[in-house]
Chain A
């Protein structure tokens, strides 16, 4: 159990986010947000409650809500489009998720473990989903007829009349230079650090991958220079 001081620190981090004042302008407790919220229909979750806890500076219950509730939100932003006060409960949830990660909360680690595959894909390739991820063994609940023509995935992808899409392990072909630029963004914005806090093993795999790609890029650059001589 966290101490009050720890909970306070978390609360202050949420409040300290520069978006906080955009997303929370007061609250009528009218519940329009909850009435339109898809997650409220299936989880013990209410955007109105989240907003009220923040608005009333309920430090302990904010901490409590961060254990599980904030992960119920589907991020559809229906609440934001509807709130008569122009609050964005979904936006506040995003701030809370970021803070949960910053503090390496165990609940966040648990929730995100099954998300690792997407994260690996994203950080290493800049794409979040690839054709080889959407195979029946990954999504048995999508049924046996996940697609309508049988055949080798590579051939089916080659039959897409756009050059960039003829890939299987990324949604589209991303140039090596682009990927390397993206790694710099991850590093300079602290994304790799958060990843390390959340999942050290995943971080190690990603770091190796990035090193390899950078070497590949340097070699390519040298080759180009060689050609220029």
Chain B
């Protein structure tokens, strides 16, 4: 079957037939659509409500407490889709981990914390990684439908309340640490839920009962963050410092493609970062911007907007969809069209999908592959982080060694080193990014 037949016009019903238009005619017929979908449209902004304004009103009315980003968090202001301003805190951060990242691609959080250490951040004061947090539970929700707005809201408020009070045990005031969300789905889900919480007094009432029972109210109120911030936004605002203060490896020969997570910029899309100096300001800037700052060649490709095929449920129990989509619409295109050296991303689900499903392509004579990793892992490599100990590339299935070698780093030496280090680990001599006691509430 040809690709055209496979892709066909499924879902339209049999009375929809291919038009067989020539390329030029087809382009003309779809011109309006393309104009609309390829460029961001600012016009909708005026019709949109900025939920944050309502948050301030609710706080004034004594309904909620807003966890503020203060000067102490050294925020950087950025622009979002409609040109609105968003504050990104750069320090005093509470790492809100991602179950997919931690379970599957641990090089994500380790590279991020490594960067913070490189900038001289002091663990326990400038950031905190602790055990008192659950996942957002939204992966399961989107996959199975088990869960509901109320459970998602209670989980959100519980985790963010912990972030708000977490400074206390380390001798700081309330609100000292601001949550930095590692996961793309958590980021999208929390913002969606925040919207519902601000809009619905009934929902607030219902979850307040739960939070009260858990001892997770402050002065009888729920705590809602001023901004929901994604780790890739931290990387975005730190990109020039990363490049000017930390970069060790010249990456000007590296062809980089970016896959931005759907849940980063398609859910509550008004909150995603756009920057006129990145991809013409038409696509979300995160990810691409750090590759650009490091001096890599950023390569555009025709399926940039496509999802990776993760599907939440599909990656677990309908994998033929996931792997077919990712191979046909992502890996093939970045390999054959963009001739990329690496495909970077900013979320767990996408990286897992695109990294792990390349091998099976061989069964369909799809003999192409491309290294897949997170933006922050690529940046860490460029700044001289150890490919194994820090960037943790040993957990990846895609050919990351090809990229590492092209960057002029010896994969074999690094691997040998790491294997020797594993002996040390077995003997209990572990190198940590921070004092492990901190994770458990100690000092």
Contacts and interface: CB of A to CB of B under 8 A. Distances in A.
A190 B154 contact: no
A161 B389 contact: yes
Given A41-B7, A129-B100, A131-B104, A162 B307 contact: no
Contacts of A94: 141-142, 145
Interface in A72-117: 74-78, 80-82, 84, 86, 94, 97-98, 100-101, 108, 111-112, 114-115, 117
Given A19-B149, A156-B394, A127 B99 contact: yes
Contacts of B137: 122, 126, 128
Given A32-B33, A156-B422, A162-B113, A81 B266 contact: yes
Nearest to B326: A38
Interface string B346-368: 00000000001111100000000
A163 B436 contact: yes
Contacts of A118: 139-140, 143-144, 316
Among B11, B137, B188, B421: residue with most chain A CB under 10 A = B11
Contact of A143 (B102, B266, B329, B359): B359
A44 B145 contact: no
B324 interface: yes
B13 interface: yes
Interface size class of B (residues with CB under 8 A): 35 or more
A119 B150 contact: no
Given A100-B145, A159-B389, A164-B130, A142 B357 contact: yes
B37 interface: yes
Nearest to B426: A155
Nearest to A190: B148
Interface stretch (A1-9, A178-186, A208-216, A221-229): A178-186
Interface size class of A (residues with CB under 8 A): 35 or more
A38 B306 contact: yes
B69 to A, nearest CB: 24
B56 interface: no
B236 interface: no
Interface in A22-54: 31-32, 34-49
Interface stretch (B58-66, B219-227, B239-247, B395-403): B395-403
Given A81-B269, A164-B439, A173 B131 contact: yes
A43 B151 contact: no
Contacts of B438: 163
A182 B99 CA distance: 15
A101 B319 CA distance: 22
Contacts of A146: 356, 397
A172 B97 contact: yes
A123 to B, nearest CB: 8
A178 B131 CA distance: 8
B341 interface: no
A189 B146 CA distance: 11
Contacts of A127: 99, 102-103, 134-135
Interface string B413-433: 001001101100110001111
Nearest to B324: A42
B103 A112 contact: no
Contact of A159 (B100, B147, B269, B430): B430
A46 B213 CA distance: 43
Interface string B304-326: 01110111111011010101110
B10 A112 contact: no
A160 B432 CA distance: 8
A6 to B, nearest CB: 19
B325 A38 contact: yes
B421 A45 contact: no
Contact of B323 (A141, A147, A184, A190): A141
Among B137, B265, B324, B325: residue with most chain A CB under 10 A = B137
B360 A142 contact: yes
B175 interface: no
B301 interface: no
A216 B309 CA distance: 40
A133 B10 contact: no
Contacts of A185: 151, 154-155, 158, 210, 214
Contacts of A112: 144-146, 313
A191 interface: yes
A38 B110 contact: no
A41 B326 CA distance: 12
A164 B131 contact: yes
A136 to B, nearest CB: 10
A74 B110 contact: no
A172 B129 CA distance: 11
Interface of B: 6-7, 10-13, 33, 36-37, 44, 97-104, 106, 109-110, 113, 129-135, 137, 139-151, 154-155, 158, 162, 188, 196, 200, 202-203, 209-210, 213-214, 216, 262-263, 265-267, 269, 305-307, 309-314, 316-317, 319, 321, 323-325, 329, 356-360, 388-390, 392-397, 400-401, 415, 418-419, 421-422, 425-426, 430-434, 436, 438-440
Interface of A: 18-19, 31-32, 34-49, 71, 74-78, 80-82, 84, 86, 94, 97-98, 100-101, 108, 111-112, 114-115, 117-119, 122, 126-131, 133-134, 139, 141-149, 151, 155-156, 158-165, 170-175, 177-179, 181-182, 184-186, 188-191, 194-195, 198
Given A118-B144, A164-B129, A185-B154, 18 more contacts: A18-B200, A39-B11, A41-B7, A42-B10, A42-B324, A47-B11, A78-B305, A94-B145, A114-B316, A114-B317, A122-B137, A145-B397, A159-B422, A164-B439, A181-B216, A184-B213, A185-B158, A198-B146
17 contacts: A31-B12, A32-B36, A34-B11, A38-B311, A44-B11, A77-B263, A77-B266, A80-B266, A80-B269, A100-B145, A114-B317, A148-B415, A149-B422, A161-B389, A170-B103, A178-B131, A189-B151
